[in-house]
Amino acid sequence: MIIKGLQKLTLLDYPEKCGATVFTFGCNLRCPFCHNASLVLKREGDDAVISEDYFFDFLNSRKGILDGITISGGEPLLQPDIVPFIIRIKQMGFLVKLDTNGTNPQLLKKLIDENLVDYVAMDIKNCLEKYPQTVGADGFDTTPIKKSIEILLENRVEYEFRTTVCCELFTLQDFEKIGALIKGAKRYFLQAYCDSGDILCGTFTPPKKEDLYTYAKALSKTVEKVGIRGI
């Protein structure tokens, strides 16, 4: 496991839980608005990593204090040791939330089938037609995305879908298409784009509040719960 960051306490990342968040390095997408560029691309002179020993010593010291651990990235399912890593966390008595971009439905299914994840947050980058430009990959195959959505819609694990929204890449019609794509979903969150200072490339604009409310209203026709974050 290549661990690049550890947030030792958060009440935000894991819904209704007191938790910690571990950040893995590497991603197979190049979303230009990504606010964690340092977790996507290796930068010269940035070789610092957090050892697994340090991480698990930390978890051991938080037994009875933390409820769960969020594994985020980057894209955690790129890590070759992700399964034994999660097993060890579960054996210590913690819940596990996984943040994923949905590009590895086979591994996602395995984790759900084996009860290794308790909550999944999957990014919906955009409507399927606009995935290539949104993830920075010409000719991007959205088949794995559709499969991961189908897996979560089986309701065998708690989950949410979410989209980071900027003015330059989204229209109301895009969200109407997303609503049709995830029809019947339990939870979907619109996350307002924010320049973290660690953006992958380009300049983007946060959405207007009224636009977010308009998108949420359209999505509520097909999604049980629609929320807005970051405003």
Range of the domain at 108: 3-229
**Which pLDDT score is estimated for 45?**
55
Report the residue count for the chain.
Answer: 231
Question: Measuring CA to CA, which residue among 99, 88, 87, 92 is closest to residue 67?
Answer: 92
Q: Strand, helix or coil at 4?
A: strand
**Which pLDDT score is estimated for 46?**
65
Confidence of residue 72 (pLDDT cuts 50, 70, 90): very high
Helices (H) and strands (E) in the chain, counts: 7, 8
**Which pLDDT score is estimated for 43?**
65
Confidence of residue 15 (pLDDT cuts 50, 70, 90): confident
In CATH, what number is assigned to the domain containing residue 115? 3.20.20.70
**Which pLDDT score is estimated for 113?**
98
Average pLDDT over every residue of 49-60: 94
Q: How many domains does the chain have?
A: 1
* Summary mean pLDDT of the chain: 93
This prediction has a pTM of 0.93
For 27-54, the pLDDT digits (tens) are 999 998 887 777 887 765 566 789 999 9
For 179-214, the pLDDT digits (tens) are 999 999 999 999 999 877 676 777 789 999 999 999
